[in-house]
Structure formats: C-alpha cells, structure tokens
Amino acid sequence: MLHSTATDPGSPPPPAALSHLPPPMVPTPERVLGEWRDEAPAASDPGPTLIIIAGVHGNEPAGVHAARRVLAELARTRPAFRGRFVAISGNRRALASGKRFIDRDLNRHWSASQLAAARERVAAGTAGAEDREQVELAAALDPVLQAAKGRVFIVDCHSTSSQSAPFMLFADTLVNREFAAAFPLPLVLGLEEQIDGAIFDHYQGRGVVTLGVEGGQHASPEAVDNVEAVIWLALRHAGCLPEMPQAEAARHQAHLREARGSVPWIVEVRYRHGIRGEDAFRMRPGYVNFQPVESREHLADDRRGPVRAPEGGHILMPLYQGQGDDGFFMTRPVKPIWLALSARLRRRRLGWAVKYLPGVSRDPADRATLRIDTRVARFYPMEVFHLLGYRRMRREGRLIYVTRRLHDRPGE
Ligand SMILES: [Zn+2]
C-alpha cells in the first residue's frame, strides 16, 4: 500500500510542459514538500530512507521543483516502492524572496552546539531568520532519521551562479563514494571540507550516507531536469524503486552523461579563494564551471587589484552573485585509478600504511590524525590523503594535520 502526503497528488502538473519553463520563484514552500512510502513494510525488511533537502540556499529552487515533479510522478504511476522518500525544503523564507539567505548562510553552523545556540535564540526571541530555519529544518529531519530502521541517504540539492555542468560533492567516505559513483556525474573531492558546518557534513557525522548535488545554473530549466534525474537514480540506488525498468534508469543516466559533457569524472579541490564584503571582489565575466585556466590567469579583481589563479587547473564555482564568501575554487583532475586503488586499500584497512611515508607521522595527541611535514612530504599530492579518507584539518607552520573520518565503512 502506498501513501503520499504530497500536496494534491491527484492533479500533478504535466511534467513535459513544466520542463520547458524556467524555475519561477517559490512562494513560501511547505517544510515537508511531500513524502512517499511503503505503508506496510515487512518487519524483516524496513527498506531504505531517502531524504531530499531542497533549497538550503533560497536562490536555488531547482531541488524544490524537481522534488515536486518526482512526487507527482510517483503519485501518478504508483510504482512498487520500498522504504520511505521524504522531500524537505531548506530555507523557506529565503526561497520566498529568491535570495541566497536573509541574515546568514543556512548551509553553515551545523554542529550540535551551534544548533543548541540557535534553539536558545529562538526561545529567547532574539533569533534571526536562519536561526528559525535551522531549528525548523532540524525538527523536520530528526523524526525521519529517528524513525528510519534501514539505511538512510540524504541528497542535498543546490545550483551555482555560473553556468555549469551538474556535479556532485561529498565527504569522501567509502559509503558516500560508492553512492556517488552510481551517478554518471563529475565527482568533486575536497569541496565539502572547504565549507565549515555544512548541513550534510553534520548528518554524515551521524552515519548517514550523504551527497550534495549542484544541478546547474540557478535559473536554468536544465538544473531542474538534472536534479530530477538525480532524484530518480537516487531512489533506485538507495533501493526504493527496485523494479524501475532498466530502460528508464538508462534514460536518466544518459541525460546526466550528456549534461556532464567533457568535464573530467573526478576532480580534487586544491584552492579556495575566500572573500569578504569589503574586498569588493568582482569575477571577470565569462567563466563557467570546470573551464580550464592557466596559472597566473587574471580571473577577478578586488580592491587590491587583479586576482590571479594560483596554479593551472579547472575553475569551480566562480562567484557571479552578490551574496557568498567563496570567490572561486581551483581544482585538478584525479585519475580514476586512484579512486579504485584507494577504495581497495581502505576496504582492506591498509590505509594506515600511509603513515610510513617519509615525512608523515601519527599525531601523538590523536590516533586518527596524521602530521605531514611539508618540507619532506611536499611532493605527495593531497589527493593521496583525501583518497585514503583523510581530510585537511589545519596547518601549523610547516605541518599539515589531516584526520580520518569516522563512518568510513558501513557499521563503523
Ligand atoms: Zn547552494
């Protein structure tokens, strides 16, 4: 027996007509955009839970439109369904005004202590718009997580201010990597670690499989189409739609493959150009995501003068909107062989061997942390550590500290 709480599932808008419209602004969306589930799961097989978070940034409504289309289509076709699918809107107040945020970025400050502080401000009546959003969003997510008896997947849907092929970002654990690799989209490693307190990192820390998707340019209808294809494939890979015909899955995959174009499959973030309002940062026009740039290329200007690429590579997320504190990122392709090799090492728990590399030692204060002496180890690309599940934590003089993630393998 299937059950949906989607708004008016009986009269879904025709998807074919919708796909040619640009995404309009979203009149304040419901917190729970809709839900679909197997109402009588077998006790021995509770099934997976897939949660879509849409519009954590209010100028990125593609996920809201895509989730609504998927819910309407589920209501129309009523396919065999396992587990539970829930679509939740992110920054409702900002979505209603078409802005990235009202007072602060809702995709920051996700930790237990910051969440508690936001709850206190709400209780004290001193909360800003995003404090309320954060508290309400957590209140919508927590019961779904608590009710889940099987595996839980979260897909956090975004879009970019520049023109872009769709791509995925994730904390590089084996379970996340395995899920991400099921989509024929570019995988960006190390981007999430540049973002402190991102929502999906918070839930990833609780053992949930998490994935971020950047669907394309904010206002483009393609972004909605791309996110929709990602949601269908996520439902299939998570195990919610066990009987999705192969031809249908192939159609979604072909759509994403075409959207990816010639962008490399895996890239690693090597540099973030952080900015502040007083920098008066202005990206030079015409850059698109994954565009190759030369070392020292004149990419932008700020009050100090030209801003140049620190090294050659592929530019990512050049900033073409008023709000935001990331000017651009620089990435380089990673050879897929690294991914396969590191997965094997990690699965066989041989990743620890990295500490025997010259210049690398274990931090005496923390078993999960390695110290890398950059005088000795400067020639190891960070990708070696990334791919073995370590993330950059901090730099102290010539030492870089990297820490291995928990929840690297299922059950860990
Ligand atoms: Zn975003």
238 CA from centroid of ligand 1 (Å): 23
286 and 249 in a common domain: no
CA gap 329, 162 in Å, rounded = 12
C-alpha dihedral (259, 262, 268, 274), degrees to nearest 10: -70
Question: How many of the other CB atoms lie within 10 Å of CB of 344?
Answer: 11
Question: How many of the other CB atoms lie within 10 Å of CB of 125?
Answer: 6
385 CA from centroid of ligand 1 (Å): 26
For 309-343, write each residue's pLDDT tens digit: 999 999 999 998 878 889 999 998 887 766 666 66
Domain finish residue from 221, 241, 260: 260
57 CA from centroid of ligand 1 (Å): 5
pLDDT, position 214: 95
9 CA from centroid of ligand 1 (Å): 28
pLDDT, position 359: 73
CA gap 197, 176 in Å, rounded = 18
For 136-161, write each residue's pLDDT tens digit: 999 999 999 999 989 999 999 999 98
Bridge partners of 331? 269, 314
CA gap 353, 373 in Å, rounded = 16
Q: Which of 123-127, 168-172, 381-385 reaches the highest mean pLDDT?
A: 123-127
Percent of the chain exceeding pLDDT 90 equals 56
As a whole number, the mean pLDDT across the chain is 84
315 and 232 in a common domain: no
pLDDT, position 382: 65
Q: Which residue has the higher pLDDT, 11 or 134?
A: 134
- Say if CB 65 and CB 22 are below 8 A apart: no
CA gap 378, 360 in Å, rounded = 11
Is 371 domain-assigned? yes
60 CA from centroid of ligand 1 (Å): 6
pLDDT, position 35: 96
Is 338 domain-assigned? no
Domain that holds residue 79: 2-260
- Chain centroid to Cα 132, Å, comes to 22
If 0-12 CB within 10 Å is exposed, 13-18 middle and 19+ buried, where does residue 202 land?
buried
CA gap 62, 23 in Å, rounded = 7
Report whether pLDDT(291) > 80: yes
pLDDT band at 350, cuts 50/70/90?
low
pLDDT, position 59: 94
375 φ/ψ angles, rounded to the nearest 5 degrees: -70, -35
Segment 267-274 mean pLDDT = 88
79 CA from centroid of ligand 1 (Å): 31
128 CA from centroid of ligand 1 (Å): 19
**Residue ranges with CB less than 5 Å from ion ligand 1:** 57, 60, 158
Give the largest Cα separation in the chain, rounded: 65
Is 197 domain-assigned? yes
The structure's pTM equals: 0.80
171 and 228 in a common domain: yes
pLDDT band at 12, cuts 50/70/90?
very low
pLDDT band at 88, cuts 50/70/90?
very high
For 210-243, write each residue's pLDDT tens digit: 999 999 999 899 999 999 999 999 999 999 999 9
270 and 250 in a common domain: no
What the block records as the tokens of 174 is 């084996």
233 and 89 in a common domain: yes
223 and 279 in a common domain: no
Percent of the chain exceeding pLDDT 70 equals 83
pLDDT, position 19: 39
Bridge partners of 329? 272, 316
341: helix, coil or strand?
Answer: helix
Q: CA-CA distances (angstroms) from residue 4 to 11, 84, 107, 258, 295? A: 13, 10, 28, 32, 53
CA gap 56, 326 in Å, rounded = 16
CATH number of the domain where residue 123 is located: 3.40.630.10
Q: How many domains does the chain have?
A: 3
